[in-house]
Amino acid sequence: MDHNTLASGGWLLFAIIAVLVAGTKNRSGFNWFFLTMIFGPIALFILVFLCDTVKKR
């Protein structure tokens, strides 16, 4: 495997983890998937440590 394949796979893995974490915090997994695809681990860090859980209506 070359470096680009591994990097792309890692980026996609971060996005999938963001979807799972967003679901546990009652956030939109779809939006967080694309935010993480753009901003990478920074968006995942923000989601995990700075976003509070939203109460369901």
User: What is the extent of the structural domain holding 52?
Assistant: 15-57
17-49: pLDDT as tens digits: 999 999 999 898 999 999 999 998 898 888 888
**Which long-range contacts link 28-32 to residues 24+ away (Cβ below 8 Å)?**
none
The answer to whether residue 10 sits within a structural domain is no
Residue 4's region, left for phi above 0, alpha for psi from -120 to 50, else beta, is: alpha
Cα angle 39, 44, 48; round to 5: 150
The answer to whether residue 37 sits within a structural domain is yes
Residue 1 has pLDDT above 80, yes or no: no
Give the pLDDT mean for 48-55: 80
The answer to whether residue 47 sits within a structural domain is yes
Q: CB–CB of 14/44 below 8 Å? A: yes
Question: What pLDDT shows up at residue 57?
Answer: 65
The answer to whether residue 5 sits within a structural domain is no
Count: domains in the chain? 1
Residue 54 has pLDDT above 80, yes or no: no
Question: What pLDDT shows up at residue 51?
Answer: 81
